[in-house]
Structure 1
Amino acid sequence: MDRDKILTIINQYIDNKNIVKHMLAMEAFMRALAKKLGGDENEWGITGLVHDLDYIDSTPANKHGLLVGEMLEKEGVILSPEILSAVAAHNWHNNGVEPKSLMDWALFCGDSLTGLIVACTLVLPSKKLADLTVKSILKKFPQKRFAAGTRREDIKMGEEKLDIPLEEFVDICLKAMQGINKELGL
């Protein structure tokens, strides 16, 4: 799979640069999780990168995650059934496709965490990922009014489904995002 071609396609479909940055953050996080869990880093990374390609105004919530394969196929990019499964399952509350594989659960549990980390970064005086700590993220985690859209229960499921304690899960995500801070503008 050609990452550069996929990025070009993403930029054709997604106008909101914050969504593109979220997709890049998920790519980095999924690569880091693959390394930790013994998955294929390229496959897991591409999964994170493409997971919100169909997150556009014309896509109803119950179809989100189900149209990505079709959209990329029109552009000449064929995704594996494993990637398509994970992408569909990351929105299972709305589309009914339940996560089954480790990669499915990684994408589902991790999807909301990148947004929480961005929110935690933006309240720092420096607004820099480099200055954010796991401790400060965990302090904000139980505050439901902070980053209210964060699906904290989904993130917590990483402990059960991935066998990764919450603190370590947050640490893996933070380090992955810090590794691409320039691309994220943070």
Structure 2
Amino acid sequence: MVIQTVPLSFLTADSSHDEQPDGDVLPHPYPDQWTRPYRPGPYRVAAAALLLMLASYLLFASLIVGLSGELHGAGVIVAATAGVIAFTLRILRTGVWVSADGLRHVRLLYTTTLPWARIQEVRTSQQPVRWLGLPRTVQGQALVLTPAHGGETRVLLTDHNADFLGRVEAFDMAADAIEDWADPAR
């Protein structure tokens, strides 16, 4: 009996990504739309999945509470669930987004948008960086933005944040893509 294996490339998420030659930056086909030039990392996606699982438990709890006759309590739980879902979506949206208009740095509580004319330089530097956004710092790489007309530099991405922890090649590709967006604009 001969067992044949069938390649199931449609089951892999990165099948189209594997076709890209090594070292090439992914093309940006829609320069007028805001685009994140990298994929969310596994830690960010895992945290979002756990929060959405919590939201499903909360919705089921609100159903049980609602069926028992406590509609006010069910409403409170549904509101808490909506808050958890909104928080999860915001976590997934955080990062650096680029377009022909400029660079947008989306954080958990606020967003900063700078047109390319107000950006002097975007570069990679070796410096102490925060590990997963916590107060602890480690030596690593950071993508740093220097605004035009003075101002303090801003750290956009690090190789130790939730998108790139343990994925140095992904950080290098994302930094190259963002630097590529910044170069032609000047």
The TM-score normalised by the length of structure 2 is: 0.24
Q: Which protein is richer in strand relative to its size?
A: 2
Q: Which protein is richer in helix relative to its size?
A: 1
The TM-score normalised by the length of structure 1 is: 0.24
Is the radius of gyration larger for structure 1 or structure 2?
2
